[in-house]
Structure 1
Amino acid sequence: MSEGESALLGPADIRRLAEELGIRPTKKLGQNFVHDPNTVRRIVNAAGLTAEDTVVEVGPGLGSLTLGLLPAAKAVYAVEIDPMLVERLPQTVAERAPDLKNRLHVIHDDAVRISKSRFPTEPTALVANLPYNVSVPVVLHLLAELPIRTALVMVQAEVADRMVAAPGSRIYGVPSVKIAWYAKATKVGTVPRTVFWPVPNVDSALVRLERHDEPQADKRQVFKIVDAAFAQRRKTLRAALAGTLGGAERAEATLTKAGVDPRARGEQLSVTDFVEVAAVV
Protein backbone atom coordinates (compact mmCIF):
# COMPACT_ATOMS: atom_id res chain seq x y z
CA MET A 1 0.00 0.00 0.00
CA SER A 2 1.50 3.33 -1.07
CA GLU A 3 1.17 6.73 0.57
CA GLY A 4 -2.25 8.30 0.11
CA GLU A 5 -4.07 4.98 -0.11
CA SER A 6 -6.15 3.06 2.40
CA ALA A 7 -6.90 -0.62 2.80
CA LEU A 8 -10.66 -0.99 2.42
CA LEU A 9 -12.66 -3.36 4.59
CA GLY A 10 -13.84 -6.66 3.17
CA PRO A 11 -16.43 -9.16 4.51
CA ALA A 12 -13.97 -10.87 6.85
CA ASP A 13 -12.78 -7.50 8.24
CA ILE A 14 -16.33 -6.38 8.95
CA ARG A 15 -17.16 -9.58 10.80
CA ARG A 16 -13.93 -9.43 12.78
CA LEU A 17 -14.56 -5.84 13.88
CA ALA A 18 -18.18 -6.58 14.76
CA GLU A 19 -17.10 -9.56 16.85
CA GLU A 20 -14.40 -7.52 18.58
CA LEU A 21 -16.95 -4.87 19.55
CA GLY A 22 -19.65 -7.36 20.47
CA ILE A 23 -21.95 -6.10 17.73
CA ARG A 24 -24.64 -8.54 16.63
CA PRO A 25 -26.32 -6.73 13.74
CA THR A 26 -29.95 -7.53 13.09
CA LYS A 27 -32.33 -6.64 10.25
CA LYS A 28 -34.91 -5.55 12.82
CA LEU A 29 -32.63 -2.79 14.10
CA GLY A 30 -31.53 -1.80 10.62
CA GLN A 31 -27.88 -2.58 11.32
CA ASN A 32 -26.34 -3.20 7.92
CA PHE A 33 -22.65 -2.69 7.15
CA VAL A 34 -21.20 -2.30 3.65
CA HIS A 35 -18.63 -5.03 3.11
CA ASP A 36 -17.90 -4.62 -0.60
CA PRO A 37 -14.85 -2.46 -1.47
CA ASN A 38 -16.06 -1.98 -5.06
CA THR A 39 -19.29 -0.41 -3.79
CA VAL A 40 -17.26 1.95 -1.59
CA ARG A 41 -15.12 2.97 -4.57
CA ARG A 42 -18.25 3.50 -6.64
CA ILE A 43 -19.77 5.80 -4.00
CA VAL A 44 -16.59 7.84 -3.68
CA ASN A 45 -16.27 8.19 -7.46
CA ALA A 46 -19.92 9.24 -7.80
CA ALA A 47 -19.40 11.89 -5.11
CA GLY A 48 -17.00 13.75 -7.41
CA LEU A 49 -14.81 15.02 -4.58
CA THR A 50 -11.73 17.19 -5.01
CA ALA A 51 -8.59 17.36 -2.89
CA GLU A 52 -9.93 20.60 -1.38
CA ASP A 53 -13.24 19.15 -0.16
CA THR A 54 -14.05 18.81 3.52
CA VAL A 55 -16.53 15.95 3.80
CA VAL A 56 -19.21 15.13 6.33
CA GLU A 57 -19.91 11.42 6.70
CA VAL A 58 -22.92 10.44 8.78
CA GLY A 59 -22.95 7.09 10.57
CA PRO A 60 -19.49 5.80 9.63
CA GLY A 61 -20.11 2.61 11.57
CA LEU A 62 -17.10 0.32 11.29
CA GLY A 63 -15.36 2.57 8.76
CA SER A 64 -16.02 1.01 5.37
CA LEU A 65 -16.85 4.24 3.57
CA THR A 66 -14.57 6.37 5.76
CA LEU A 67 -11.52 4.53 4.47
CA GLY A 68 -12.63 5.19 0.91
CA LEU A 69 -13.23 8.90 1.52
CA LEU A 70 -9.96 9.77 3.24
CA PRO A 71 -7.73 9.56 0.13
CA ALA A 72 -10.21 11.64 -1.89
CA ALA A 73 -10.71 14.64 0.41
CA LYS A 74 -8.83 17.21 2.44
CA ALA A 75 -10.62 16.12 5.62
CA VAL A 76 -13.46 13.87 6.74
CA TYR A 77 -15.75 14.71 9.65
CA ALA A 78 -17.35 11.44 10.68
CA VAL A 79 -20.50 12.06 12.75
CA GLU A 80 -21.33 9.03 14.87
CA ILE A 81 -23.87 8.67 17.68
CA ASP A 82 -22.59 5.35 19.09
CA PRO A 83 -19.76 6.02 21.61
CA MET A 84 -18.24 2.57 21.06
CA LEU A 85 -17.92 3.18 17.32
CA VAL A 86 -16.61 6.71 17.97
CA GLU A 87 -13.79 5.23 19.99
CA ARG A 88 -12.91 2.45 17.53
CA LEU A 89 -12.95 4.35 14.22
CA PRO A 90 -9.68 6.30 14.69
CA GLN A 91 -7.93 3.04 15.57
CA THR A 92 -9.24 1.34 12.44
CA VAL A 93 -8.01 4.23 10.28
CA ALA A 94 -4.61 4.28 12.02
CA GLU A 95 -4.23 0.57 11.34
CA ARG A 96 -5.35 0.57 7.71
CA ALA A 97 -4.46 4.07 6.47
CA PRO A 98 -1.76 5.46 8.80
CA ASP A 99 -0.70 8.16 6.32
CA LEU A 100 -4.25 9.52 6.26
CA LYS A 101 -5.21 9.35 9.95
CA ASN A 102 -4.79 13.10 10.46
CA ARG A 103 -7.51 13.77 7.88
CA LEU A 104 -10.10 12.07 10.09
CA HIS A 105 -12.08 13.97 12.71
CA VAL A 106 -14.69 11.95 14.59
CA ILE A 107 -17.59 13.89 16.10
CA HIS A 108 -19.75 12.20 18.72
CA ASP A 109 -23.18 13.66 18.00
CA ASP A 110 -26.63 13.04 16.53
CA ALA A 111 -26.65 14.08 12.85
CA VAL A 112 -30.32 15.09 13.06
CA ARG A 113 -29.47 17.72 15.68
CA ILE A 114 -25.81 18.58 15.14
CA SER A 115 -24.99 22.28 14.89
CA LYS A 116 -22.58 24.08 12.60
CA SER A 117 -20.44 24.97 15.61
CA ARG A 118 -19.27 21.35 15.94
CA PHE A 119 -17.24 21.67 12.74
CA PRO A 120 -13.88 23.50 13.01
CA THR A 121 -13.89 24.00 9.22
CA GLU A 122 -17.00 24.50 7.10
CA PRO A 123 -17.84 21.24 5.28
CA THR A 124 -18.27 21.42 1.51
CA ALA A 125 -19.72 17.96 0.82
CA LEU A 126 -21.85 15.25 2.38
CA VAL A 127 -21.16 11.62 1.53
CA ALA A 128 -22.90 8.96 3.57
CA ASN A 129 -24.59 5.60 3.80
CA LEU A 130 -27.57 6.90 5.74
CA PRO A 131 -29.68 4.94 8.23
CA TYR A 132 -32.96 4.19 6.47
CA ASN A 133 -35.25 5.52 9.19
CA VAL A 134 -33.71 9.00 9.42
CA SER A 135 -32.26 9.56 5.96
CA VAL A 136 -34.52 12.43 4.85
CA PRO A 137 -34.46 14.29 8.21
CA VAL A 138 -30.66 14.06 8.26
CA VAL A 139 -30.30 15.38 4.71
CA LEU A 140 -32.70 18.27 5.32
CA HIS A 141 -31.07 19.21 8.62
CA LEU A 142 -27.56 19.22 7.19
CA LEU A 143 -28.62 21.21 4.12
CA ALA A 144 -30.16 23.79 6.44
CA GLU A 145 -27.28 23.85 8.92
CA LEU A 146 -24.15 23.52 6.77
CA PRO A 147 -22.87 25.21 3.59
CA ILE A 148 -22.36 21.91 1.77
CA ARG A 149 -22.31 22.32 -2.01
CA THR A 150 -22.78 18.70 -3.03
CA ALA A 151 -24.02 15.47 -1.49
CA LEU A 152 -23.97 11.81 -2.43
CA VAL A 153 -26.13 9.69 -0.15
CA MET A 154 -27.06 6.04 -0.17
CA VAL A 155 -30.63 5.53 0.98
CA GLN A 156 -33.43 3.00 0.68
CA ALA A 157 -34.42 2.77 -3.01
CA GLU A 158 -38.01 3.82 -2.27
CA VAL A 159 -36.79 6.89 -0.37
CA ALA A 160 -34.45 7.79 -3.23
CA ASP A 161 -37.39 7.79 -5.63
CA ARG A 162 -39.31 10.16 -3.38
CA MET A 163 -36.31 12.47 -2.98
CA VAL A 164 -35.95 12.95 -6.75
CA ALA A 165 -39.65 12.84 -7.70
CA ALA A 166 -41.04 15.66 -9.86
CA PRO A 167 -44.42 17.42 -9.54
CA GLY A 168 -47.26 15.31 -10.87
CA SER A 169 -45.81 12.02 -9.68
CA ARG A 170 -47.79 10.00 -7.15
CA ILE A 171 -44.64 9.64 -5.02
CA TYR A 172 -43.90 13.39 -5.12
CA GLY A 173 -44.33 14.75 -1.62
CA VAL A 174 -42.86 16.69 1.28
CA PRO A 175 -39.31 15.29 0.93
CA SER A 176 -39.32 16.07 -2.80
CA VAL A 177 -40.36 19.71 -2.30
CA LYS A 178 -38.13 20.47 0.68
CA ILE A 179 -35.04 18.97 -0.92
CA ALA A 180 -35.82 20.94 -4.10
CA TRP A 181 -35.71 24.10 -1.97
CA TYR A 182 -31.99 23.52 -1.40
CA ALA A 183 -30.73 21.43 -4.29
CA LYS A 184 -31.30 19.52 -7.50
CA ALA A 185 -31.63 15.82 -6.68
CA THR A 186 -30.66 13.11 -9.15
CA LYS A 187 -30.72 9.34 -8.77
CA VAL A 188 -27.35 8.11 -10.01
CA GLY A 189 -27.56 4.37 -9.46
CA THR A 190 -28.90 1.44 -7.49
CA VAL A 191 -27.10 -0.68 -4.91
CA PRO A 192 -27.93 -4.37 -4.46
CA ARG A 193 -28.72 -5.61 -0.98
CA THR A 194 -25.99 -8.25 -1.24
CA VAL A 195 -23.20 -5.71 -0.56
CA PHE A 196 -24.39 -5.39 3.04
CA TRP A 197 -23.95 -7.59 6.09
CA PRO A 198 -26.42 -8.71 7.16
CA VAL A 199 -28.42 -8.57 3.94
CA PRO A 200 -31.33 -6.09 4.34
CA ASN A 201 -34.86 -6.67 3.07
CA VAL A 202 -34.69 -3.76 0.61
CA ASP A 203 -32.44 -2.45 -2.13
CA SER A 204 -30.65 0.88 -1.89
CA ALA A 205 -29.94 3.71 -4.31
CA LEU A 206 -27.53 6.60 -4.67
CA VAL A 207 -28.83 10.17 -4.82
CA ARG A 208 -26.64 13.11 -5.78
CA LEU A 209 -27.54 16.63 -4.68
CA GLU A 210 -26.24 19.79 -6.33
CA ARG A 211 -26.80 22.89 -4.22
CA HIS A 212 -28.44 25.93 -5.78
CA ASP A 213 -29.49 29.32 -4.43
CA GLU A 214 -32.47 29.11 -2.12
CA PRO A 215 -35.65 30.99 -3.07
CA GLN A 216 -36.00 34.52 -1.75
CA ALA A 217 -38.82 33.66 0.62
CA ASP A 218 -39.69 32.84 4.23
CA LYS A 219 -38.66 29.19 4.40
CA ARG A 220 -40.62 28.52 7.56
CA GLN A 221 -43.82 29.80 6.00
CA VAL A 222 -43.25 27.92 2.75
CA PHE A 223 -42.54 24.66 4.56
CA LYS A 224 -45.62 25.14 6.75
CA ILE A 225 -47.77 25.36 3.62
CA VAL A 226 -46.01 22.35 2.06
CA ASP A 227 -46.67 20.26 5.17
CA ALA A 228 -50.34 21.22 5.17
CA ALA A 229 -50.78 20.57 1.45
CA PHE A 230 -49.52 16.99 1.75
CA ALA A 231 -51.02 16.17 5.15
CA GLN A 232 -54.28 15.55 3.29
CA ARG A 233 -52.91 14.95 -0.18
CA ARG A 234 -56.17 13.61 -1.61
CA LYS A 235 -57.91 16.90 -0.90
CA THR A 236 -57.80 19.94 -3.12
CA LEU A 237 -55.50 22.73 -1.98
CA ARG A 238 -58.56 24.81 -1.14
CA ALA A 239 -59.56 22.22 1.45
CA ALA A 240 -56.10 21.08 2.53
CA LEU A 241 -54.90 24.62 3.27
CA ALA A 242 -58.09 25.83 4.91
CA GLY A 243 -56.78 25.26 8.41
CA THR A 244 -53.47 26.98 7.67
CA LEU A 245 -54.78 29.94 5.67
CA GLY A 246 -57.82 30.87 7.77
CA GLY A 247 -60.64 28.97 6.14
CA ALA A 248 -61.54 27.53 2.75
CA GLU A 249 -62.65 30.83 1.22
CA ARG A 250 -59.50 32.64 2.26
CA ALA A 251 -57.41 29.72 1.06
CA GLU A 252 -59.11 29.92 -2.33
CA ALA A 253 -58.51 33.64 -2.57
CA THR A 254 -54.84 33.25 -1.62
CA LEU A 255 -54.27 30.45 -4.14
CA THR A 256 -56.00 32.38 -6.89
CA LYS A 257 -53.91 35.47 -6.16
CA ALA A 258 -50.77 33.32 -6.36
CA GLY A 259 -51.83 31.98 -9.75
CA VAL A 260 -52.55 28.48 -8.43
CA ASP A 261 -55.77 26.59 -9.18
CA PRO A 262 -57.57 26.06 -5.83
CA ARG A 263 -58.82 22.72 -7.19
CA ALA A 264 -55.28 21.45 -7.69
CA ARG A 265 -53.59 19.09 -5.24
CA GLY A 266 -50.25 19.51 -3.52
CA GLU A 267 -48.55 16.94 -5.71
CA GLN A 268 -49.08 19.19 -8.74
CA LEU A 269 -47.13 22.16 -7.34
CA SER A 270 -43.41 22.82 -7.70
CA VAL A 271 -41.37 24.44 -4.95
CA THR A 272 -41.68 27.69 -6.94
CA ASP A 273 -45.47 27.41 -6.80
CA PHE A 274 -45.38 26.96 -3.03
CA VAL A 275 -43.13 30.01 -2.77
CA GLU A 276 -45.70 32.03 -4.74
CA VAL A 277 -48.48 30.95 -2.39
CA ALA A 278 -46.45 31.86 0.70
CA ALA A 279 -45.64 35.26 -0.79
CA VAL A 280 -49.28 36.35 -0.86
CA VAL A 281 -50.38 34.93 2.50
Structure 2
Amino acid sequence: MTDPSAVTAPTDPVPPLYSPARVRELLDRHGLRPTKSLGQNFLIDGNILRAIAAAGGAAPGVPVLEVGPGLGVLTREVASRGAQVTALEKDERLRAVLAETLADTDVTVVWGDALDFDYAALPAGTRVIANLPYYITGPLLSRFMAAPGIVSATVLVQKEVAGRLAARPGQDNYGFLSALAALHGTVTLVRDVPKGAFLPAPDVTSSVVRLDFDRERPLPDPALLAFVDAALHHRRKTLRNNLRLVGHAGEAIDAALEGAGLRPDVRAEDVSLADLEGVARQLNVIR
Protein backbone atom coordinates (compact mmCIF):
# COMPACT_ATOMS: atom_id res chain seq x y z
CA MET A 1 0.00 0.00 0.00
CA THR A 2 1.30 3.42 -0.94
CA ASP A 3 2.24 5.71 1.92
CA PRO A 4 0.08 8.85 1.48
CA SER A 5 2.81 10.92 3.09
CA ALA A 6 5.18 10.01 0.27
CA VAL A 7 2.87 11.34 -2.44
CA THR A 8 3.26 14.96 -3.49
CA ALA A 9 0.68 16.92 -5.38
CA PRO A 10 1.69 17.53 -9.00
CA THR A 11 2.94 21.01 -9.72
CA ASP A 12 3.21 22.89 -12.98
CA PRO A 13 6.81 23.21 -14.14
CA VAL A 14 8.25 26.69 -13.84
CA PRO A 15 8.28 28.19 -17.34
CA PRO A 16 11.75 28.94 -18.70
CA LEU A 17 13.17 32.42 -18.29
CA TYR A 18 12.61 33.12 -21.99
CA SER A 19 8.90 32.27 -21.82
CA PRO A 20 6.83 35.43 -22.52
CA ALA A 21 4.64 34.61 -19.51
CA ARG A 22 7.69 34.20 -17.27
CA VAL A 23 9.27 37.43 -18.53
CA ARG A 24 6.06 39.40 -17.96
CA GLU A 25 5.68 37.92 -14.48
CA LEU A 26 9.29 38.78 -13.64
CA LEU A 27 8.92 42.35 -14.85
CA ASP A 28 5.59 42.84 -13.08
CA ARG A 29 6.86 41.41 -9.81
CA HIS A 30 9.77 43.85 -9.81
CA GLY A 31 7.65 46.76 -11.00
CA LEU A 32 9.62 47.17 -14.23
CA ARG A 33 8.90 48.17 -17.79
CA PRO A 34 11.44 47.95 -20.64
CA THR A 35 13.08 51.32 -21.25
CA LYS A 36 13.16 52.35 -24.89
CA SER A 37 15.93 54.91 -24.32
CA LEU A 38 18.22 52.06 -23.18
CA GLY A 39 17.28 49.88 -26.13
CA GLN A 40 15.68 47.23 -23.93
CA ASN A 41 14.09 44.57 -26.11
CA PHE A 42 14.38 41.25 -24.26
CA LEU A 43 15.06 38.15 -26.35
CA ILE A 44 12.50 35.44 -25.58
CA ASP A 45 13.12 32.79 -28.27
CA GLY A 46 14.94 29.78 -26.82
CA ASN A 47 16.10 28.46 -30.20
CA ILE A 48 17.70 31.78 -31.10
CA LEU A 49 19.31 32.09 -27.67
CA ARG A 50 20.94 28.71 -28.13
CA ALA A 51 22.00 29.58 -31.67
CA ILE A 52 23.68 32.81 -30.51
CA ALA A 53 25.54 31.07 -27.69
CA ALA A 54 26.73 28.34 -30.05
CA ALA A 55 27.76 30.74 -32.83
CA GLY A 56 29.59 32.88 -30.29
CA GLY A 57 31.79 30.02 -29.13
CA ALA A 58 30.49 29.73 -25.56
CA ALA A 59 32.30 26.74 -24.08
CA PRO A 60 33.87 25.59 -20.81
CA GLY A 61 36.51 28.03 -19.58
CA VAL A 62 36.06 30.57 -22.38
CA PRO A 63 35.99 34.17 -21.10
CA VAL A 64 32.83 35.83 -22.41
CA LEU A 65 31.77 39.46 -22.18
CA GLU A 66 28.10 40.35 -22.46
CA VAL A 67 26.91 43.94 -22.82
CA GLY A 68 23.38 44.64 -21.64
CA PRO A 69 22.31 41.36 -20.01
CA GLY A 70 18.84 42.73 -19.29
CA LEU A 71 16.98 39.98 -17.45
CA GLY A 72 19.87 37.54 -17.75
CA VAL A 73 18.25 35.29 -20.34
CA LEU A 74 21.16 35.07 -22.79
CA THR A 75 23.54 35.30 -19.84
CA ARG A 76 22.19 32.05 -18.37
CA GLU A 77 22.39 30.26 -21.71
CA VAL A 78 26.04 31.24 -22.17
CA ALA A 79 26.95 30.45 -18.55
CA SER A 80 25.23 27.06 -18.78
CA ARG A 81 27.83 26.07 -21.36
CA GLY A 82 30.64 26.59 -18.87
CA ALA A 83 31.83 29.99 -20.10
CA GLN A 84 33.26 32.51 -17.63
CA VAL A 85 30.80 35.35 -18.11
CA THR A 86 31.23 39.01 -17.26
CA ALA A 87 28.09 41.07 -17.92
CA LEU A 88 28.00 44.87 -18.19
CA GLU A 89 24.70 46.48 -17.20
CA LYS A 90 23.83 50.17 -16.97
CA ASP A 91 20.26 49.98 -15.65
CA GLU A 92 20.47 49.87 -11.84
CA ARG A 93 16.77 48.95 -11.69
CA LEU A 94 17.76 45.45 -12.80
CA ARG A 95 19.92 44.69 -9.74
CA ALA A 96 17.21 42.71 -7.95
CA VAL A 97 16.18 40.91 -11.15
CA LEU A 98 19.71 39.77 -11.99
CA ALA A 99 20.35 38.81 -8.37
CA GLU A 100 17.39 36.45 -8.75
CA THR A 101 17.90 35.12 -12.27
CA LEU A 102 21.67 34.64 -11.97
CA ALA A 103 21.71 33.47 -8.33
CA ASP A 104 22.82 29.93 -9.16
CA THR A 105 25.56 30.98 -11.61
CA ASP A 106 29.08 32.36 -11.23
CA VAL A 107 28.43 35.26 -13.60
CA THR A 108 30.17 38.53 -12.66
CA VAL A 109 27.93 41.57 -13.17
CA VAL A 110 29.67 44.92 -13.61
CA TRP A 111 27.39 47.93 -13.11
CA GLY A 112 28.05 50.98 -15.23
CA ASP A 113 27.99 52.46 -18.71
CA ALA A 114 29.41 50.14 -21.38
CA LEU A 115 30.91 53.16 -23.13
CA ASP A 116 33.09 53.82 -20.08
CA PHE A 117 34.33 50.25 -19.60
CA ASP A 118 38.04 49.47 -20.02
CA TYR A 119 37.90 46.84 -22.78
CA ALA A 120 41.69 46.85 -23.10
CA ALA A 121 41.89 45.15 -19.68
CA LEU A 122 39.97 42.04 -20.80
CA PRO A 123 41.90 38.74 -20.83
CA ALA A 124 43.25 37.33 -24.07
CA GLY A 125 40.76 35.08 -25.83
CA THR A 126 37.65 36.98 -24.69
CA ARG A 127 34.56 36.51 -26.84
CA VAL A 128 31.74 39.03 -26.85
CA ILE A 129 28.25 37.49 -27.00
CA ALA A 130 25.49 40.05 -26.65
CA ASN A 131 22.17 41.51 -27.68
CA LEU A 132 23.59 45.00 -28.14
CA PRO A 133 21.61 48.14 -27.31
CA TYR A 134 20.90 49.40 -30.83
CA TYR A 135 21.53 53.06 -30.05
CA ILE A 136 25.23 52.48 -29.22
CA THR A 137 26.03 49.60 -31.57
CA GLY A 138 28.61 51.49 -33.65
CA PRO A 139 30.66 52.88 -30.72
CA LEU A 140 30.64 49.49 -28.98
CA LEU A 141 31.80 47.60 -32.06
CA SER A 142 34.65 50.10 -32.47
CA ARG A 143 35.71 49.45 -28.88
CA PHE A 144 35.58 45.68 -29.37
CA MET A 145 37.74 45.92 -32.49
CA ALA A 146 40.38 48.00 -30.71
CA ALA A 147 40.58 45.75 -27.62
CA PRO A 148 43.50 43.32 -28.06
CA GLY A 149 42.01 40.66 -25.77
CA ILE A 150 38.74 40.32 -27.71
CA VAL A 151 39.00 37.72 -30.47
CA SER A 152 35.38 37.72 -31.64
CA ALA A 153 32.05 39.46 -31.19
CA THR A 154 28.81 37.61 -31.89
CA VAL A 155 26.06 40.16 -31.53
CA LEU A 156 22.45 40.90 -32.26
CA VAL A 157 22.17 44.13 -34.23
CA GLN A 158 19.72 45.78 -36.59
CA LYS A 159 19.61 43.90 -39.89
CA GLU A 160 20.66 47.07 -41.71
CA VAL A 161 23.78 47.33 -39.52
CA ALA A 162 24.62 43.67 -40.14
CA GLY A 163 24.39 44.32 -43.86
CA ARG A 164 26.75 47.28 -43.58
CA LEU A 165 29.25 45.27 -41.56
CA ALA A 166 29.39 42.51 -44.16
CA ALA A 167 29.32 44.75 -47.27
CA ARG A 168 32.18 44.88 -49.76
CA PRO A 169 33.37 47.80 -51.94
CA GLY A 170 30.88 48.48 -54.70
CA GLN A 171 27.89 47.10 -52.78
CA ASP A 172 25.03 49.36 -51.75
CA ASN A 173 25.62 49.11 -48.00
CA TYR A 174 29.38 49.66 -48.13
CA GLY A 175 30.73 52.43 -45.91
CA PHE A 176 33.12 53.23 -43.08
CA LEU A 177 31.69 50.54 -40.77
CA SER A 178 32.28 47.93 -43.49
CA ALA A 179 35.85 49.11 -43.97
CA LEU A 180 36.50 49.23 -40.24
CA ALA A 181 35.35 45.61 -39.82
CA ALA A 182 37.48 44.46 -42.77
CA LEU A 183 40.55 46.25 -41.40
CA HIS A 184 40.26 44.23 -38.18
CA GLY A 185 39.19 40.82 -39.48
CA THR A 186 36.21 39.04 -41.04
CA VAL A 187 32.42 39.20 -40.76
CA THR A 188 29.94 36.32 -40.92
CA LEU A 189 26.18 36.76 -41.11
CA VAL A 190 24.70 34.06 -38.85
CA ARG A 191 20.92 34.48 -39.14
CA ASP A 192 18.05 36.94 -39.15
CA VAL A 193 15.86 37.29 -36.06
CA PRO A 194 12.18 38.26 -36.42
CA LYS A 195 10.60 41.01 -34.34
CA GLY A 196 8.43 38.45 -32.52
CA ALA A 197 11.50 36.94 -30.86
CA PHE A 198 11.67 39.94 -28.53
CA LEU A 199 9.55 41.40 -25.74
CA PRO A 200 8.60 44.09 -26.50
CA ALA A 201 8.97 43.67 -30.25
CA PRO A 202 11.38 46.21 -31.78
CA ASP A 203 10.47 48.32 -34.80
CA VAL A 204 13.04 46.59 -37.02
CA THR A 205 14.23 43.12 -37.96
CA SER A 206 17.46 42.07 -36.30
CA SER A 207 20.36 39.86 -37.35
CA VAL A 208 23.01 37.85 -35.57
CA VAL A 209 26.47 38.66 -36.91
CA ARG A 210 29.87 37.34 -35.89
CA LEU A 211 33.03 39.41 -36.21
CA ASP A 212 36.35 37.58 -35.90
CA PHE A 213 39.34 39.82 -35.19
CA ASP A 214 42.79 38.93 -36.50
CA ARG A 215 44.97 39.67 -33.47
CA GLU A 216 48.15 38.67 -35.30
CA ARG A 217 47.55 41.70 -37.50
CA PRO A 218 48.67 45.03 -35.98
CA LEU A 219 45.87 47.44 -35.14
CA PRO A 220 45.24 49.91 -37.98
CA ASP A 221 47.09 53.22 -37.84
CA PRO A 222 44.71 55.85 -36.37
CA ALA A 223 45.71 58.18 -39.21
CA LEU A 224 44.57 55.55 -41.73
CA LEU A 225 41.26 55.11 -39.91
CA ALA A 226 40.64 58.87 -39.98
CA PHE A 227 41.54 58.94 -43.69
CA VAL A 228 39.21 56.07 -44.56
CA ASP A 229 36.43 57.68 -42.51
CA ALA A 230 36.84 60.93 -44.44
CA ALA A 231 37.13 59.13 -47.78
CA LEU A 232 33.86 57.24 -47.23
CA HIS A 233 31.96 59.99 -45.41
CA HIS A 234 29.94 60.70 -48.55
CA ARG A 235 30.39 57.32 -50.15
CA ARG A 236 28.41 58.04 -53.33
CA LYS A 237 30.50 61.11 -54.11
CA THR A 238 33.80 60.85 -55.89
CA LEU A 239 36.80 60.04 -53.77
CA ARG A 240 38.41 63.22 -55.11
CA ASN A 241 35.59 65.42 -53.80
CA ASN A 242 35.61 63.74 -50.39
CA LEU A 243 39.34 64.31 -50.02
CA ARG A 244 38.99 67.92 -51.11
CA LEU A 245 36.39 68.40 -48.35
CA VAL A 246 38.96 67.48 -45.68
CA GLY A 247 41.61 69.82 -47.01
CA HIS A 248 43.73 67.89 -49.49
CA ALA A 249 44.84 69.91 -52.51
CA GLY A 250 43.31 69.00 -55.85
CA GLU A 251 46.65 68.53 -57.66
CA ALA A 252 47.94 66.27 -54.89
CA ILE A 253 44.77 64.18 -54.99
CA ASP A 254 44.97 63.84 -58.78
CA ALA A 255 48.57 62.67 -58.54
CA ALA A 256 47.69 60.22 -55.73
CA LEU A 257 44.79 58.74 -57.70
CA GLU A 258 46.96 58.33 -60.76
CA GLY A 259 49.70 56.76 -58.66
CA ALA A 260 47.21 54.26 -57.27
CA GLY A 261 45.86 53.46 -60.74
CA LEU A 262 42.41 54.95 -60.04
CA ARG A 263 40.16 57.00 -62.30
CA PRO A 264 39.78 60.69 -61.36
CA ASP A 265 36.00 60.24 -61.11
CA VAL A 266 35.97 56.99 -59.09
CA ARG A 267 33.29 56.92 -56.43
CA ALA A 268 34.46 56.42 -52.86
CA GLU A 269 32.29 53.33 -52.31
CA ASP A 270 33.94 51.53 -55.23
CA VAL A 271 37.52 51.83 -53.96
CA SER A 272 39.10 48.82 -52.24
CA LEU A 273 40.79 49.17 -48.88
CA ALA A 274 44.15 48.39 -50.45
CA ASP A 275 43.68 51.22 -52.95
CA LEU A 276 42.53 53.62 -50.23
CA GLU A 277 45.67 52.77 -48.29
CA GLY A 278 47.69 53.39 -51.44
CA VAL A 279 46.15 56.83 -51.89
CA ALA A 280 46.80 57.61 -48.22
CA ARG A 281 50.48 56.77 -48.73
CA GLN A 282 50.67 58.88 -51.88
CA LEU A 283 49.29 61.81 -49.87
CA ASN A 284 51.75 61.15 -47.01
CA VAL A 285 48.89 60.53 -44.57
CA ILE A 286 50.62 57.30 -43.57
CA ARG A 287 54.09 55.94 -44.31
SS at match of 2:246: helix
Equivalent runs, 1:191-206 vs 2, <5 Å: 191-206=193-208
**Which position in structure 1 is the counterpart of 2:30?**
21
**CA–CA distance in structure 2, aligned partners of residues 198 and 129 of structure 1:** 14
Partners of 1:259 and 1:25 lie apart in 2 by 53
User: Could you list the per-position Cα deviations for residues 170-228 of structure 1 after superposition, in whole angstroms to 9, with x for gaps in the alignment?
Assistant: 11011101111112011111111111111112111110112225765852111211221
> In structure 1, what is the Cα distance between the partners aligned to 2:220 and 2:108?
35
Superposition pairs for residues 200-239 of structure 1, below 5 Å?
A: 200-213=202-215, 219-239=221-241
Shift of 1:20: 3.0
State the Cα RMSD in Å.
2.3
Question: Contact between 2:184 and 2:220, CA under 8 Å: does it hold in 1?
Answer: no
Aligned residues: 268
1:79 aligns with 2:94: no
Could you say which residue in structure 2 is the equivalent of 1:43? 52
1:116 matched to 2:116:
no
| CA distance, structure 1, for counterparts of residue 216 and residue 257 of structure 2 | 22
Compare CA radii of gyration and give the structure with the larger one: 2
Alignment equivalent of 1:186, drawn from 181, 185, 188: 188
Task: Give 5+ residue unaligned stretches, structure 1.
Answer: 1-6
What pairs up with 1:237-256 in 2 under 5 angstroms?
237-244=239-246, 246-256=248-258
Gap change, CA 1:26 and 1:213, over 3 Å in 2: closer
Secondary structure at the aligned position of 1:227 is classed as helix
1:31 is aligned to 40
Cα 1:87–1:118 shift into 2, 3 Å: farther
User: What residue is the counterpart of 1:57 in the other structure?
Assistant: 66
Using a 3 Å threshold, how does the CA distance of structure 1 residues 216 and 46 change in structure 2: closer, same or farther? Answer: closer
Q: Which has the higher helix share?
A: 1
Aligned partner of 2:21 in structure 1 is 12
Distance 2:84 2:247 in 1: 46
CA change 1:39–1:222 in 2 (3 A) is same
| Aligned sequence identity (%) | 38
Q: Residues 158-177 of structure 1: matches in 2 within 5 Å?
A: 158-177=160-179
SS at match of 1:264: coil
Pick from 252, 262, 265: which aligns with 2:264? 262
Scaled by the length of structure 1, what TM-score is found? 0.86
Q: 1:249: Cα distance to partner? A: 1.8
Segments of 5+ residues of structure 2 without an aligned counterpart are: 1-15
What is the DSSP-based 3-state SS (H/G/I as helix, E as strand, rest coil) of the residue aligned with 2:99? helix
Shift in CA distance, 117/21, structure 1 to aligned 2, threshold 3 Å: farther
| SS of the residue 1:241 aligns to | helix
**Against the structure 1 CA distance between its residues 218 and 143, is the aligned structure 2 distance closer, same or farther, given a 3 Å change threshold?**
closer
Shift of 1:53: 1.2
TM-score, structure 2 as length reference: 0.84
Q: Given residue 206 of structure 2, which amino acid in structure 1 is its aligned partner?
A: S
Report 1:135-154 matches (<5 A): 135-154=137-156
Which 4+ runs in 1 deviate beyond 3 A? 26-30, 116-119, 213-218, 258-262
